[in-house]
């Protein structure tokens, strides 16, 4: 692995915010020449975090922010239980019935048992239609990792209509996975059949390439660098609480990985302290930020919650979207949208109308 280039910002979160501020000043003053036009920041996922932070750090630049599916409370020490994201995923699969989550839970041990012998590894290759044979037990770990990512991503993009966000998927892909799995009596045959929904829904894939990016080319290498610098989000699994094998999270080991992989010095608490105080939850100085999460989205486990009926200093609505996946409210409208996301969008519009009203904007910004 190579070290981080000297030109890479050591605090990319703050650098991104500063870049947005610089570009916004240029856009309003020099390009569009509309210095007093109200501005609202929008973002989903990491972009949602940036939108909220932008309103916190540069409140004179934007009149409000829509922060969708932004896991702002997922930094070290903030989640009560690091298994929470996997518990959300487990619940999504459990709610499909047909013992879907139970089959997933039982599959890990069966895969590991087959991985021990050459004959077992051959069976796994045939079942899951992998492009390459499993020569060693270590090779099978790629399959385990891919399945873990598939379940996470499938819950995250469990949209009510076909999408190509992470992969070409049908509407309600978790339901389709569990439906395909329910037709098989054997556990591994069921999981293999369900996995076809994720990697070969279109029928154009000849085999499962475990060396490809399971997240659809979202630039996970660049994200790994950024995570190592500032965005360490502790996530773990425990079969006593979810449908995944035991995978603890150890911050010290993760930091060591970052130093070895990227020759970087991790700052796991910096963004938490910068925008939320010593415990990360203090948004009392914030105003006019709309926080939304979908109850099907594993990242909702780290979403901002109301504290004593409030989220921030002033006018920070929180909306939990029933049957909503990852930042569904920021996607284009669709005839299959659940009523909850339609309500969320109307509520966001109402908030924006409040924020950009003349009464709310009793200030002048001189660009």
Roughly what angle, to the nearest 10 degrees, separates helices 100-115 and 118-128?
A: 140
- How many whole angstroms separate alpha carbon 339 and alpha carbon 322? 9
User: With contact defined as beta carbons under 8 Å apart, do 78 and 281 qualify?
Assistant: yes
- Ramachandran assignment for 27, one of left (phi > 0), alpha (psi -120 to 50 degrees), beta (any other): alpha
* Residues noted as catalytic: 45, 297, 326
- How many whole angstroms separate alpha carbon 262 and alpha carbon 38? 41
- How many whole angstroms separate alpha carbon 199 and alpha carbon 207? 9
- How many whole angstroms separate alpha carbon 215 and alpha carbon 88? 19
Q: 51 is written with which tokens?
A: 């939108």
- CB within 8 A of 38, min separation 6: which ones? 63, 355, 356, 361
- Nearest partner of 196 among 169, 158, 161, judged by Cα: 169
User: With contact defined as beta carbons under 8 Å apart, do 279 and 307 qualify?
Assistant: no
- How many whole angstroms separate alpha carbon 365 and alpha carbon 367? 6
- How many whole angstroms separate alpha carbon 220 and alpha carbon 231? 13
Q: 135 is written with which tokens?
A: 């020569």
The string of DSSP letters for 53-92 reads HHHHH-TTT-SEEEEES--TT-STTTSS-TTHHHHHHHHH
What residue ranges in the chain does DSSP mark as E strands?
40-44, 64-68, 289-294, 318-321
Cα three-residue angle 33-40-268, rounded to 5 degrees = 120
């Amino acid at each position: 692995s190579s070290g981080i280039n000297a030109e890479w910002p050591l605090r990319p979160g703050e650098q991104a915010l500063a870049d947005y501020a610089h570009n916004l000043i240029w856009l309003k003053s020099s390009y569009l020449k509309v210095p007093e036009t109200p501005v609202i920041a929008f973002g989903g996922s990491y972009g949602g975090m940036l939108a909220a932070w932008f309103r916190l750090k540069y409140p004179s630049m934007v009149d409000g922010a829509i922060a969708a599916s932004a896991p702002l409370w997922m930094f070290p020490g903030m989640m009560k239980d690091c298994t929470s994201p996997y518990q959300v995923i487990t619940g999504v699969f459990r709610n499909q019935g047909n013992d879907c989550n139970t089959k997933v839970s039982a599959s890990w041990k069966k895969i590991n048992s087959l991985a021990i012998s050459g004959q077992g590894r051959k069976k796994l290759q045939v079942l899951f239609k992998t492009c390459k044979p499993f020569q060693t037990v270590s090779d099978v770990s790629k399959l385990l990792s891919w399945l873990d990512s598939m379940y996470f991503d499938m819950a995250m993009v469990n949209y009510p209509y076909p999408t190509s966000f992470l992969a070409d998927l049908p509407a309600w892909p978790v339901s389709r996975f569990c439906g395909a799995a329910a037709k098989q009596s054997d556990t591994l045959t069921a999981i293999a059949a369900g996995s076809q929904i994720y990697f070969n829904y279109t029928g154009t894939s000849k085999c499962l390439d475990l060396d490809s990016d399971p997240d659809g080319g979202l630039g996970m290498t660049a994200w790994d660098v950024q995570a190592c610098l500032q965005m360490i989000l502790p996530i773990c699994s425990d079969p006593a609480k979810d449908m995944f094998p035991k995978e603890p999270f150890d911050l010290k080991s993760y930091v060591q990985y970052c130093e070895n992989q990227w020759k970087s010095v991790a700052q796991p608490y910096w963004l938490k302290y910068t925008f939320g105080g010593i415990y990360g939850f203090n948004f009392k100085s914030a105003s006019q930020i709309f926080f939304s999460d979908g109850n099907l989205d594993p990242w909702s486990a780290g979403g901002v919650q109301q504290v004593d009926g409030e989220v921030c200093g002033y006018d920070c609505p929180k909306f939990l979207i029933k049957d909503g996946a990852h930042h569904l409210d920021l996607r284009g409208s669709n005839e299959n949208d659940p009523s909850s996301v339609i309500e969320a969008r109307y509520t966001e519009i109402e908030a924006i109308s409040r924020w950009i009203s003349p009464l709310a904007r009793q200030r002048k910004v001189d660009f």
